[in-house]
Structure 1
Amino acid sequence: MATMSDVARRAGVSVATVSHVLNETRPVRPDTRRAVLEAIDDLGYTPNTLARSLVTARTRSIGLAVSAISNPYFTEILQGVESSALAHGYSLLIADPHDDPAHERTVVQLLHERRVDGVIVAPSAEPTALVEYLTRHEVPAVFLDRLLGGGYDQVCAENAFHVEQLVLHLADLGHTRIGLVAGVPGLSTTIERIAGYRAGLERRGLPFRPGLLADGHSEARGAQDATHRLLAAAEPPTAIITANNAMTIGALRALRETGRGVPDDLALVCFDDFSWADVFSPGLTAISQPSREIGSTAVRLLLDRLENPARPPRTVRLPCTFVHRTSCGCRP
C-alpha cells in the first residue's frame, strides 16, 4: 500500500507539501499541487481520513437526517445531497428520525458524535429538542424541506403558490367543492400548502369549507382514511388535491374502494410528482418539486457555512413545475 512518503518521492516534493495539498493547510503552487495529485492517482494512494481529521479538525463527512427515506421524494433529495457531497470530497452518513422529535434529537446527536462536519436535517413538527442540541453544541446545520424560524440556513420548494395554482386550475374547470388532503399538522409544508389552498379558493370567490379539509398525516393510510371522510360528507368534493405523493396513493385506494373513477367521477391532482405518475390511467396532474436541487443546495449552504461560520443565515426557496396531465379532467 502506497504511503505519503511514496507520493512525496514520486512528485519530487517533501512529505509536508503532500500534507498541505491533502489537508489544504497552506497554499501550494498550482504546478506542485498538480504533481502531487498525479502521484496520488498513479500510486493509488488513499489518505488516512482519521489522521487528516486530527490535523484539520474536519472529517469531510456530512450527516443527513431525513424521515421516510423510502419515499421517492426524499430518495431524490438524498441523491442530490450525495452527488453534491461526493463532488466536493465529502462522505455521507444517513439516519432516519421517523418524524419523531425525541428520536430526531438522538440520531442527530449520534451523527455529531461521529464527528461529521455538519448536518442536513428535515425537521419534525416539534423540533425544540433538536434546535436546543444544535445550538448548545454549535453544530453547523441546514434545514431542508421543512422550515423553522431564523438562525439557520434553510432550503425548500415554494409551497403556497403552487397549491394555489392547483386550486385555480380546478376552479377554472368548473369545480366549486375542492377538497384538500393535508400533511402532518404543524409542519411548515402543511401550513404553507393549506395557506395556498385557502388563497386559491379566495381568488376564485369560493368559500372555505372546513369539512373539505382533512389531515392525511403525510402517509398513504392516513390519506386513505381522510379521503373516505371527505367522500362521506353531505356535500362531498368533486375534486381533491393531495399534498404529497404518498397521500396520492392513499387517496387512489379510497376512490377505488368506493367505486369512483378519475376524472369521470372526481378530479384528482397532487402536490409532489413522482416517476410513475404518468403511468397511471389517467396520467396524474401534479406539481413537481426540484428534489435533487433541494438536496444539492442544502450541501452548498452547509459548505458555505463551514467556510464562513459568521455569515448571516439564508433561506432559499426553489420554484416547482406544473405538470399537466389528465387526472384533472382536461383532455389529453
Structure 2
Amino acid sequence: MITIKDVARLAEVSISTVSRVINDSKPVSPEVRKRVLKVIEETGYKPNDVARSLVTRRSYLIGVIVNNLAQSYVADVVRGIEEIGKMYGYDILLSSSYGSKETQEKYLQLLDRKQAEGLFLVGNKFDEEIVQLAKSFNKPCVFFTRDVYEKMNYITIDSKSAIYEVSQYLIEEGHKKIAYFSDYENRTTVENEKVEGYLKAIEDNELEYSKVYVVGGNKHSQAYELGKSIINEAGDFTAAVCSTDEIAIGILDSMIDNGIKVPDDVSVVGFGNIREGKFVRPEITTIGEPYYDVGAVGMRMLIKMIKGDKTQQGRMELPFTIEKRKSVKKLI
C-alpha cells in the first residue's frame, strides 16, 4: 500500500509538503504542487480520511435527511446533491426518516457525531422542533420543504405564480369553472401560496365559480377516494388544478374509473412533474419543479456557507415550467 512517505520520496519533497498539498492548508509553489499531484495520480495514493480530518479539522461530509426515499422526486434531488458534492470533494451521508420525528432526531444527532460540516433536509414538512434542533448544531443547514419557518435557508419555486400561471393557461383555453384540489386542511406555507395563486387567477378574470376541495393527504389512494365521493359534482367544473401530481393522478384515475372522461369532460392539471405523470393516460399537464437543480443549487449554497459566505442565506428561488401535455382540453 502506498503511503504519504512514498509520495514524499517519489516527489522529492518532505512529508509536510505532501500534507499541505493534500489539505490545501498552506501555500505551496505551483511547480511543487504539480509534482506532488502527479505522483499521487500515478501511484493511486489515497489520504487517510480520519488523519486528514484531524489535521484540517474538517470531515468533508454532508448529512442528508430525506422523509421518503421511495418518492421519485427525492432521487432527483439527491442526485443533484451528490454530483455537486463530488465536484467539490464532499461525501454524502444519506438517511431516510419516513416522516418520523424520532428518527429525524436520531439521524441529526448521528450526523453531528460524525462531524458532518453541513445538513440538507428534504421533505414535505418538518416539525419546528426538528428545524430548531438542526440549527442548534451551529452548522450550515439547507431545506427543501413545503413548510417554511423564519430564518430558514431553503430552496423553492414561486408556487403562487406557478398556480396562477397554470390557472391562467386553463382560462385562456376556455375554462371558466375551475376547481382546486388541496392536500391537507392544515396547510403548509407553500400550500397557502398555491391556494392564493388559484384564487387570484379566479379574481383577476372575474370568474363566478371557485371551489377548494381538501384531499386530506397527498397520496394517490386518498385523492382517488375523494374523486369517487364527488363524482356527482364533476359536472360543476370543467378543470381541476391539483396541489401535487400524486393528487392529480388519483383524481384522474378516479374520474376515468367512474365514467368521467379526461380531458373531454374534465381537464386535470398537477404540480411537480414527477416521472409517473408521463406514464398515465392521458399524460398529465403539470407545473415542472427542477428537482435536480434543487439538489445541485442547494448543495452549492451549503458549500458556500461552509466556506463562510453569509450572502448565501435565506430563500433561494428557482424557475418553474408549465409542461403542457394531454390532460387539458381546449374549449374555445
User: Is the structural similarity TM-score above 0.5?
Assistant: yes
Equivalent residue pairs, number:
330
- Counterpart contact for 1:157–1:294, Cα < 8 Å: no
CA deviations on 1:130-182 (whole Å, 9 max, x unpaired) are 12212332132111243523433221122111111111122223323322222
Shift of 1:277: 3.5
CA deviations on 1:4-27 (whole Å, 9 max, x unpaired) are 111112222211111112222112
Aligned-pair RMSD on alpha carbons? 2.3
For the residue of structure 1 that corresponds to 2:269, the secondary structure is strand
Alignment of 1:52-71 (within 5 A): 52-71=52-71
- 2:269 aligns with 269
CA deviations on 1:80-127 (whole Å, 9 max, x unpaired) are 111111111111111223234443333222222222111001355352
TM score, norm. by length of structure 2: 0.90
Shift of 1:268: 0.8
Mapped pair 1:142 → 2:142: yes
Q: Aligned partners of 1:275, 1:111: CA distance in 2, in Å?
A: 31
Mapped pair 1:167 → 2:167: yes
TM score, norm. by length of structure 1: 0.90
- Counterpart contact for 2:245–2:286, Cα < 8 Å: no
Q: Aligned partners of 1:133, 1:115: CA distance in 2, in Å?
A: 15
- Counterpart contact for 1:155–1:315, Cα < 8 Å: yes
Q: Aligned partners of 2:123, 2:105: CA distance in 1, in Å?
A: 10
- 2:194 aligns with 193
CA 110–219 in structure 1, closer or farther in 2 if over 3 Å, else same: farther
Q: Aligned partners of 1:265, 1:214: CA distance in 2, in Å?
A: 21
- Counterpart contact for 2:79–2:295, Cα < 8 Å: yes
- 1:298 aligns with 298
Gap runs ≥5 in structure 2: none
Q: Which amino acid counterpart does residue 287 of structure 1 have in structure 2?
A: I
- 2:207 aligns with 206
Q: Aligned partners of 1:310, 1:271: CA distance in 2, in Å?
A: 32
Mapped pair 1:45 → 2:28: no
- 1:122 aligns with 122
CA deviations on 1:234-267 (whole Å, 9 max, x unpaired) are 8643211222222233223312331222101210
Q: Which amino acid counterpart does residue 114 of structure 2 have in structure 1?
A: R
CA 69–208 in structure 1, closer or farther in 2 if over 3 Å, else same: farther
CA 32–136 in structure 1, closer or farther in 2 if over 3 Å, else same: same
For the residue of structure 2 that corresponds to 1:92, the secondary structure is strand
Shift of 1:225: 2.5
For the residue of structure 1 that corresponds to 2:120, the secondary structure is strand
- Counterpart contact for 2:249–2:284, Cα < 8 Å: no
Greater alpha carbon shift after TM alignment, 308-317 vs 288-297: 308-317
CA 226–54 in structure 1, closer or farther in 2 if over 3 Å, else same: farther
